[in-house]
Structure formats: structure tokens, C-alpha cells
Structure 1
Amino acid sequence: MEATSEKWRNNQQEPITSEGFVEVLYEISDPDLPEARATSNHELYISTMPDMLNPPLIDEVEREVTPYATLEHNLWLLDGSKPTVPDNGPDEEYSGYISEGLCDENGDFTINPKISIVFEDIVRILSGVTIAWSTAHGDYPARFRVVLYAGNNLRASKEMDNSTGATSIVEFEMTDFDRVDIEVIRWANPYRRARIEKIYPGIRKVYTKSDLLKFNCSQSIDPLSAELPKYEVAFEVNNIDGTFNPQNNEGLSKYMMERQQLSTRYGFRLDDEIEWIPGGVYYLSDWSAPQNGLSASFKARDLLGFMDANYYKGTFADQGASLYDLAKAVLQDADLPKHKTGVDPWVLDEALRDFTTTAPLPICSRGECLQMIANAACCTVFFSRDGILHIAPLGDSSETLKIHDRNSYSKPEISLTKPVKQIDVSMYSFTAEDREKELYEGTLEVHPGENVFIIEYSNAARTNMASIQVTGNGVTLNQAKTMIYAQSCELVLNSGNSGTTECSIIITGTVMKSTAAIVTIPNLEAGETQPLKNALITRGDHARVVGEWIKRHINNRKSLSVDWRADPRLDAGDIIRVGEPEKNVRVTSSDFSFSGAFKGKIEGVEI
């Protein structure tokens, strides 16, 4: 549950809450942009140039610029509202770019301030660039230009006149470049320094509640990791001007692609200020803008949308591999986008190190692999609001939230699951067969140069005892790059021929035969039998621990759902208090919409 102020919590207890707000920040950029750095021609010594493209964070929120009181015309009042620069420099503060020279009475500079963004590789296409000038001082240029280069070759330029705000969105087609120069030609206020707080390659669109025609947010988790979680937002915006129409060559649709990042935040007006909390980080998965429609709709979901491809690198581990290491290998193989802090976008609980397995991960989607690992480690897969994927035991909420007659639209609906007599946990063991078997035989078309094939076979085999036979004129096996796994082979073949060549492949190896034993965890005198088949459980003590964990959860038989005036600080997985008399409920799904006010539905189990 997201932490909030006491004012926020008291507001939720009122019969009618104060004005609510929703914002969606959509970054229309390339999710696979090359690394970049920012440089300038003449900056003041307190500038923090390395942070221009990745502003530092405090509690997962972009740090605001410190508005130092420097000697410039009408920049600050003698009221203590702006700090002075410490004698030893700005230390840990963030100031962005500040030009060394001041402009004259007309806003002109002796040397035009210029920022260069240099990419490590060619950028193929961007929709523009977003520049935050000096929002802290309310300062901005009267004229500036954006120039693109590929090496030393000029690619394109665009000059902007009469900028009237502290943020400029420069929309134009930027293609095949590796450097962007932002040059200030004239500043709006005399005797001031040019300032740039942040630069975003691409277009950053902020949709407020007045822009959103529809908005919906949903979260669902499974405490037992029997299913994968799903976090999703869906919204509609006005598209009367055709900005998102595919047929509009001047629009933004050609720059849109899956995996572009969206983030949300929610707020309430409390006294004279709006208190905001982060909503979540999502990645664009679907969008549409009907030709004859007036709106454009968008859907975005969590990082698991990147993990639909199969993981095929499972291997046997005679000495046992920790579930922590297995989860890390799957996540690294997925090549997920880095978190905006630069760290990996996942956190694995140390509890995963307590469980080991000798079995390989089966060939299935990377998401399903994580689900299997979490289930075998008595953990749950969930996301925090900064978009980080967590595999950890569910904890208790640090804040208390109550759903009662004053904030619900109906009494809770309660249903009862069937009683479970026992939990039967399968425990797997593997023995090598006496002789080698043919795992795969087939014919492949090999093109000139290096060729990579993923070969799958139904029988699991020991990787250190497999052999590969390649028969084909001019085709050789690249043994250094070829990788053999329990149920697959990443086969690398080199061909010195000028055309396509057919070659035959035979893979042989020692098959590992699997057998399952049942570990029974008794529960009630009568009821159903609950089976659990998880291929990663290979020891009896492991099976008993997982069985007892499941037993504790399935005895919470009362499922509950209620429609309520949603409080957006609630997360799936939280424990809240519902009804009269109050019952403790673990929330398993939360769904709410916003159309001037928050309204939603939660489902959970009484604990």
C-alpha cells in the first residue's frame, strides 16, 4: 500500500472526498535508444551535466532542480525562498545546465549556449525532443534551434521562435542521427543565464483528467503463484485532430511502438495543494485510433509483457541449483529494459536461496518459468509502483485501510471454496538410462556465413554427454558457440558455400528418466485432494515445506468481493479490513476507473 499523509487518509473517511486527479505520462520514444551523454560549450561550475538525460531520483521520483540564487536580473527576492550556492559547490544537489555567460538587455548572448547530446550509435527514428528549461525559475528562451548530425554531416534542423513556457516539445521527424545540438539563440528575460533542467529524447505527453475520456487500472496477483500477476492500465484521449491516426503522416502513430513507457500518478486536492502518489510504470502493448472515431485508446501492462518468449536453457544440476540463481538467469535472458535508476528492474528475495533443485527448467515462456520458481520457493510474483518485478513472500500492509458502509456501494459478496482433505505434492527424481539415444534427427537449410538454430527435443538429456553429428558439404559445427541444454540445443553452423546448403543433423545423448513420488500433507477429515505438480521440487523436505505453505493458504476458504469508492493507494496483495464486523482480507485483485472520481471493485480472501 502506498504511503500517504494523514490528510489523505482522513479525506477517505469523509462521505464525499475532495477533488481527485489522474495523470498519465506517455513517453513516445525508442525503448532501445543507444546510450547517450550530454556536453556543452560553456557551463557554470555548479551545472550537473551528467544527469541531464537521466535526472537523479529521490524515493523513485525525479529530483527537482535546486533553484540557486545567482546574481541575475530580477531572478529572486530577498525572502530566503532560494538557497545560495555553498562555498564548496552544490555537493549532492541537482542543478541541470546553467550557462556561464549572461545575456544582454535584448536576450542575446556573446556565445550562444549549446548542449550536445551524443549517442553511442545511430538513432533510426524519433518523434522529436522534449526540453525542460527552467521550471524552477519560470525562465525560457525566446528563440532556439535543434540541429541533428550523423558524424559531422548535417541531417536536419528546426528553429523555434517565441517559446512561451518552461517546457518545449519540439515535434519533427528525426532520422538516422547520432548527435543532437540544442542551441539557445535568444533568452526571454534580459541579464539572465540560460538554463536547461532535463532533456528527453522523444515526446513526453502528459494527459491530465481533462484530457482523459476514459481511464481504468487493474491489478491481480495469486498468493500461491498458481497464475502470473497482471498489472494493466487502459485509457482513451481526444483524437479529433487525428494526431494518432495511422493515415496522418504528420501525426505520432508512426513513432509508436510496443514497450514505450507510460507512468501514472493519482492525487487529491487537500486544502490548497494536491497530494500526489505514484500509480505505476507500464509499457505500451496495444493502441487503436479508428479512422471515423473521435478518440484514441491505449493499453499498457507490466514487464511480464516482455516475457512471452520461451526459455530453453534449463540444465540438470547434480549438486543442486538455487531457485535464486534460476530466477536471475531467466530474468537476464529476457533482456528487460533497465529501470530509470540504471539498475535491473527486478528484486529477488533472499528466501529463494533457501531452496535448491536438481531439475532443469522445462521449455516454456520466461514468465511461466518465474511463476514455477516462485511457487517452488513459497513466494509470490508482484510489482511495486516503480515498475520493479518482485519475487518474495507476501508481507503485511504498513498502513490500515477500511472498506465500510461510508465508502462502499454494496455489502460484500462472500463465497466459500470447497474444503481440501489433503495436499499431494509431487517430488521428482531423475536417473540416467543405460545407453545413448537419438534426441534429434533432421535436415536444415544453411546460408553462407554463420547460422544459429534452436533445436528442441522431447526427451531431457544430460548436457555433458550429448554429441552432434553434422553432414553437409562445406558446413561445419562451431563448437565454441554451440550450447547444449537439457531439452534443446543452440546450434551454430558455419558455411563457406556461396549459396544455400542442406545439411543433416543428428544429436544423441543420455536420456534422464523422470519418476514422481507423492508427499501427502494431511489437512481436513473430508474434502477434495489438492495436487501440486512442480517440476522443480526434487526433495522430500522441499515438498513438505511447499505443501505446508499451500495448506495455510487454502484453509482461508472465504472469498470476498465488494464495489467501493476506490482509494488509489491500495495495491493487490495488501491486507485491509472490510465490513461490519471488520474482517481482515488479503486483496488478490483491484480494479478501478476514474471519470471525475474513483470507483472500483476489489476481490480477496478472508485471513
Structure 2
Amino acid sequence: MKTEFFVDYNLYDTTAIEDGTPESTTNAAFADIDLLKKNPAAGVYATLEHNFFVLDGSREEFPDVSDNLAYFSTGQSGDTGEFSQWQSVTVQFTENHTSIGITLHFLEEYPLELKIEWYDLAGVKKAEATYYPDSLDYFCENQVEEYGKIVITFVETLPRHNVKLQYIEYGTTIRWGPDTITSGKLTNDTDPISDKIKTDKLTFDFVDKNEEFNIGNSSGLHKTFQKRQKMVPYEIVNGKQIPLGVFFLDSNSTTKNVSTLSAIDFKGMLSNTDFKEGRIYDGEKAGLIIDEIMNTAGISDYVVDDETYNTLLYGTLKIQTCQKALREVLFACGSTVNTAMRENLEIHKSNRMISEKIERSRKFSTTLKTDHYVSDINVKYTTWTLSDEISQITKGTYGVGLHTIQLSNPAENMTTNVGTIIRQRPYYVELQIDTDARSEVVISGQKYIGEELAVLSSIENIKSGEVRSTKTFTGTLLDYEAAQRVADSILDYYQLQQIIQTRHISRGEKAGDWTEVENTLVERGNFVACIESLSTDLVGGFIATAKYRGYYKLLSDYYFAGEIYAGEDVGII
């Protein structure tokens, strides 16, 4: 089996598009300059440009008003291709940006010459460069740090043509492949009961021949690295290209001329932002809460199955990371989250449908052990009641300015003795104080009173030779029925005592997949197990080390008319 590994890295400034405001005094009235930030699919129109199209009826008549053209120059070049008045686009920013260059996306024809000028936020020119495009998607390379404005001037086109610019990106995509990558590892983890959300991680080393990414290079490309930059790793197995998921830069380092990049998936990105909008939930759909969490984390590429989305939740979410907040939702729903070999984050109800088989022919080693016996699962939860009394919520000394005061316990209808409450949520207050002197502030309101409860799920008759053992879990979005359902489900999962570890040639299995693992003893039954963790060597033959939890399939032979039929039962060893 032949394998190769490469990574496509989006080396773009991650906030420039959103922050930028495009402007132009040379844009046609029917075009919308703001669309430069959106890259809409444009129509195929007939335009009055020299030798531009064949009269075969394949093009639409140009509309009076278009909703899919971003920039269409008012001026048309002359017989020499030059403009009597240069056409230009300006993008103004409110914050500093850094990029390796600018990628311009043109429609149908590209200009022959253009100039880009970079300015800082104060209007001082930082750099200028001239380019001669040779493709519709053209990268204007020039690493500029901390710029606040760019001006793109179009100098020359084909004779009697307009400039049609549809999209601007601040950077480009670069590829590290087998010729430069020396090592690569992908770690993929899941918790089938969603007691924890585990981050998938990608790490790879590449030879940096020109020291462009060496941190010691003061003008190196490493200065364009940003935390939310996206990368997509691929494994090529026998000529088939397999995308391994979407990852985001977490850290980089350099040793001699070898650079190391470490990246995290969407689940890891959730841990970088706090969710502060939690409140008391009384039968709210899980999907609506997930939408709030994802919006806070800045993640739009996610899907939620209908069963999870429509699950009703009761309880609260305190101030915590978005990852921990999502854990509470998934724990209460009995759902899991996966990102491996996907372009997005996928949330769905847990199931035990077998999707893969790990054959003996793919395995290098198999290790088996029996996990500790669990007979009881205790799940704790809290119910909340709003007090009728007005009481002190918090007290402190604050000076002039806007203060965000976070609360450990939820409250409603809060007031202050000093300043003005600009915004209040159950777990925080935004307080504006205008007086110069520091003042003692007392926030009063109605407290939510919590009552801690618990449910127990138990095996009535434990296995012979075993003693009772209890595991305890806590959820904050549970009522009695949900807590009991969760406890029963966890107890059922822990009855799968067979812990399996294999080292095998990967065929694209993922953590969370239920698999049939062939027994090393040919005459015995196989195992059915869930992959809980998977570590894959991406340059050493796509070799994976997997850990599973599952059960042993009992194999019974039934003889009839000279044939053998396999009957399946479930046994725990």
C-alpha cells in the first residue's frame, strides 16, 4: 500500500475581510462594491467589450440591476489597453492586519497590469508593488505587516475592456507535501457518553529550506501565522485522496531548519472562547442553545441532527468555555460531537451501528484487557427556583468606567446603588460608573435558589465474583427524567468491559465509530467495540493505534444441510 501526506494551509489574515470596508469612485452603478467581501456567483452576461464573446446565445442580456457583481469599472481601456483615468478600489480597515500578500479574484478576463499600495491606519504609505496578472485568481505576493488600508489601481487591460473584480482575500493557500514533510501525527478522541469533549490534534514537521518560517527570521512568513487560520490535511492511499478534517493553527516552533506546526479541530476552538449568556432553561430546545454556543465561538460550520436539536433541556449554564457549555448540552441529550474526516462539526445522537471492520490482515498487534466492573451510576443535577425576596447579590468597590461583574450563582431583576446597569444577564452585570471617586457598589436582586438532587441506576444482581462499584457524574441541564435516562445509558455503556488496543493499517476509521474487531483466535468470536481514541502516523504508512471499549461476540455453530450458520449473542468478559 502506497501512502502520502500533505497539508493545504490557508495563510490568510483571518479578520481582514470582515473588518474591511471596500470603496470605489470608479464602480458602475449596477455593481455593489460591498459584494467584494462575499464572493457571490456571478451571471454570464453579454457586455460591450471588444472581441469578448461569441454570438451563440450562451450569454444573458445584461440586467438593469445586478445583485451578483462586486466591481465593474466605469472606465473602459482604450485601443492600447491603458485607461485614460485609472480605475481603482480602496479597502479601509479599523484594525491592523498582516498578510503574505493579496489574492484577487477576477471575472472572465484579468487585467494586464495593476498596482497595490499599503498604508497604515494613520495614512502613511508602507509599501507599493506592481503586478502583471496571468490568471483569474491571482496572488499578489508582498508580505506587509500592520497595514490599515490598501489601494488597488488597475493600469492596463486588453484593449477596450473593463475590469471585473469579484472577491479579495488577504493571503493565499500554501501546500506542504511529501517533499518537505518529515513527520505527521493525527490524534482523534471521543467520549461516547459525552462526559468530556476531547480535542482532535494534528502535528507535523516540515523542512524549511529557506528559513521562511524560522521564528528567528525577523521578516519571515511565520509573522503571518494567526490562530484561526485553517488547514486541511490529506492522506493519499493507493492514489485515493482522503481529507482528514479541518484544523486551526494552535502553535508553531522551529529547530534548526525544521518547523513544527500543531493544530486543533473545531472542538478545540470551542475552548478558546467563554460562553457568558447562560441562563435558567425550562424546557428549551437543545438546538437553540447549541446555536448560541456556536455563535459565541464564531463557528458556523456545524450540523445538528433533529433528535438532538429537539431535545428539551432544564437547568442552567454558568460562565464557562464554549467547549464545556457544549459538553453540558451533549451530556444531557445523550449525543456526541465529531469532526474527524469532515468539513464541519457534526452533532448527533449516540448509536451502536457497526460501520467498520478491523480484519486480522490489517493488524500488527492486539492487546486485550477487562476493565473494572461498574454496578452503579450516580448522576447529580440541580433544580432552580427564583426567590421572591430582594437580597444582596454582590458587593465591591469600583472606580469610573464600564465594569463587567461576573456572578457565581444566577440572579434576576438586579439593581445598583451606584452607577447604571447597562446590561444584565443571570451570570453577569455590565455596570457604568461616571463618578470620579471610587465607590462601594451593592448589586441587589432576586436570587435563584438551587436544590441539589441525584438519581441512581443500578445492576440488581451483580456478576458473580464482583463487588459493587459506583461512578458519579454531574450535569447542569438535567431534570429527573433526563438524569435517569443519562444514568441508565452510562451504566449500559460501562457494562462493555472489554478494552481493546490495536495497531493496524488505517482505512479511515474515526473515533466514535463502532467496529467489529477480528479476534486473534480464529476459532473464536470477534469483538464489537467503539473506538474511543485513535492516533495515526501520517507519513509512516497510515498506521493507527486505536483504543476501544466493547464486548465479545459469542459464536455458535449450527449445522444444517452441510452448511455452517453463525448465530450471534452478546457476552461480557
Compute the TM-score of the two structures, normalised by the length of structure 2.
0.76
Match of 1:483 among 421, 424, 440: 424
Asked if the contact 2:46–2:59 (Cα under 8 Å) also holds between the matched residues in 1, the reply is no
Of Structure 1 and Structure 2, the greater strand share is in 2
Give the whole-Å Cα distance in 1 for the aligned partners of 2:127 and 2:287.
50
- Matched residue type, 2:534: S
CA RMSD of aligned residues (A): 4.6
CA distance in 2, matches of 1:48, 1:582: 63
What is the Cα deviation at residue 286 of structure 1? 1.0
* Cα offset, 1:436, TM superposition: 6.0
Contact residue 184 and residue 205 of structure 2 kept, 8 A: yes
Determine if the alignment matches structure 1 residue 423 to structure 2 residue 377: yes
Aligned residue for 1:561? 501
Q: Does 1:590 align with 2:534?
A: yes
Please name the residue that 1:168 is paired with: 139
Name 1:129's counterpart in structure 2.
101
Closer, same or farther: CA 172–365 of 1 in aligned 2, 3 Å: closer
**Which residue is equivalent to 1:260?**
229
Shift of residue 371, structure 1, vs aligned partner:
0.7
Contact 1:302 1:387 in 2 (8 A): no
Cα offset, 1:220, TM superposition: 0.6
Closer/same/farther in 2, CA of residues 50 and 33 from structure 1, 3 Å limit: closer
Checking the alignment, whether the CA contact within 8 Å between 2:199 and 2:265 is kept in structure 1 is yes
- The separation in 2 between residues aligned to 1:402 and 1:74, in whole angstroms, is 60
SS in 2 for 1:359: strand
TM-score by length of 1: 0.73
Equivalent of 1:493, from 432, 436, 445?
432
Match of 2:407 in 1: 456
What is the aligned partner in structure 1 of residue 567 from structure 2? none
Instruction: Quickly say closer, same or farther: Cα 1:55–1:248, change in 2 above 3 A.
Output: same
Tell me the distance in 1 between the aligned counterparts of 2:399 and 2:57.
68
**Alpha carbons of 1:71 and 1:55: their partners in 2 closer, same or farther (altered >3 Å)?**
same
Q: Deviations over 1:329-369 (max 9, x none)?
A: 3333xx3335xxxxx23333333455444422234333112
Distance 1:110 1:439, change over 3 A: closer
Q: Secondary structure at the match of 1:533?
A: strand
1:276 to 1:370, Cα distance in 2 relative to 1, 3 A: same
Q: CA deviation at 1:248?
A: 2.7
SS of match in other structure, 2:11: strand
Deviations 1:229-278 (A, max 9, x none): 211211222234332234433222333232222222333464xxxx4343
Deviation for aligned residue 1:483: 1.0
Q: 1:267 to 1:350 in 2, by over 3 A?
A: same
Offset at residue 406 of structure 1 (A): 3.4
What is residue 325 of structure 2 aligned with on the other side? 369
Counterpart-to-counterpart distance in 2, 1:281 and 1:130: 23
Q: How many residues align?
A: 538
State which of 53, 58, 67 in structure 2 corresponds to 1:85: 58
Distance in 1 between the 2:193 and 2:127 partners?
55
1:59 match = none
Q: Show the 5 A alignment for 1:320-469.
A: 320-332=283-295, 335-338=296-299, 344-352=300-308, 354-383=310-339, 385=341, 387-395=343-351, 401-408=356-363, 410-430=364-384, 438-442=392-396, 444-447=397-400, 450-457=401-408, 460=409, 462-464=411-413, 466-468=414-416
User: Equivalents in 2 of 1:370, 1:404: separation in Å?
Assistant: 35
Question: What does the per-residue CA deviation read over 1:555-606, in whole Å, with 9 as the maximum and x for residues that have no partner?
Answer: 2222222112223x33222233332565443222222122264222222233
Q: Residue 301 of structure 1: CA displacement? A: 0.6
How far is 1:445 from its partner?
Answer: 3.3
Instruction: Report if aligned partners of 2:76, 2:160 keep a CA contact under 8 Å in 1.
Output: yes
Q: Distance in 2 between matches of 1:571 and 1:73?
A: 55
What per-residue deviation string (whole Å, max 9, x for no partner) do you get for residues 160-214 of structure 1? 4666777434123154434441535467xx9999887864212432222222232
Are residues 543 and 337 of structure 1, via their aligned partners in 2, closer, same or farther at CA, if it must alter by over 3 Å?
Answer: closer
Q: Which amino acid aligns with 1:561?
A: Q
- Matched residue, 1:218: 187
Gaps of 5+ in 2: 520-524, 552-573
Structure 2 Cα separation of the partners of residues 182 and 128 of structure 1: 19
Query: 5 Å matches for 1:236-275?
Result: 236-268=205-237, 270=239, 275=240
Give the Cα separation in 2 of the matches to 1:234 and 1:114.
45
Residues 71, 164 of structure 2: 8 Å contact kept: yes
Distance change in 2, residues 1:381/1:362 (3 Å): same
Instruction: Decide whether the 8 Å contact of 1:130 with 1:199 is kept in 2.
Output: yes
Which of 481, 484, 488 is 1:541 aligned to? 481
1:540–1:200 Cα change, 3 Å = same
- The one-letter code of the counterpart of 1:378 is G
Q: 1:155 aligns with which of 108, 119, 125?
A: 125
Q: Return the alpha-carbon distance in structure 2 between the equivalents of residues 310 and 433 of structure 1.
A: 27
Shift of 1:379: 0.8
- Which of 435, 449, 453 does residue 512 from structure 1 map onto? 449
Equivalent residue, structure 2, for 1:230: 199
Give, as a single letter, the amino acid of the residue that structure 2 aligns with 1:183.
F
Aligned equivalent of 1:302: 265
Q: 1:186 to 1:222 in 2, by over 3 A?
A: same
Would the alpha carbon gap of residues 564 and 453 (structure 1) be closer, same or farther in structure 2, given more than 3 Å must change? same
Q: Does 1:116 align with 2:89?
A: yes
Give, as a single letter, the amino acid of the residue that structure 1 aligns with 2:361: R
Q: Check 1:42–1:211 CA distance in 2 against 1; reply closer, same or farther (3 A cut).
A: farther
Paired with 1:238 and 1:511, the residues of 2 have a C-alpha distance of 58
Aligned to 2:493, the other structure's residue is in SS state: helix
Contact 1:437/1:511 (8 A) holds in 2: no
Change in 2 beyond 3 A, CA 1:183/1:561: farther
Q: Do 2:114 and 2:152's aligned partners in 1 also have CA atoms closer than 8 Å?
A: no
